[in-house]
Structure 1
Amino acid sequence: MANLVYKRVSTDQQSTDRQDLVLDEAGIEDPVVFEEQAGTSSRLHPLQRPKFGETQGPPRVREPRQHPRA
């Protein structure tokens, strides 16, 4: 099962670094990331935000990750 991750910040001065740290701390590997452009209005209903709307579509099929052999 894929981990869908939606990330956004309110302004151009902010970053998603903290969100990335939380994902790493939670052990979430290879998430399918939907990241809004900085400054996407919080006044918009979430379904009107382009990337959030994409999370509501049909499931995605991803190729299995290839791990190098030790």
Structure 2
Amino acid sequence: MIMQAFEFNNFEKCREVMDLLDDVQYVEKYKHQFRDRFEEMVSWFIDHYLKIPTGRPILEAH
């Protein structure tokens, strides 16, 4: 699966994940995996790209 292969180690990988949003059928089929990976991406972005250490989960489960 594509989502499993993503390693967030640069901004381009974040953009690649966001490009997947164009494929509505893919997002619907793998919405739970997509949500988990999206949360990882946001955490990586804030911690590594923005350099804002949080020490706690960024997104709250709803």
Q: TM-score, normalised by structure 1?
A: 0.28
Larger radius of gyration: 1
Flag the structure with more relative contact order, 1 or 2, with Cα contacts below 8 A and sequence separation at least 6.
1
Q: Which has the higher helix share?
A: 2
Q: Which has the higher strand share?
A: 1
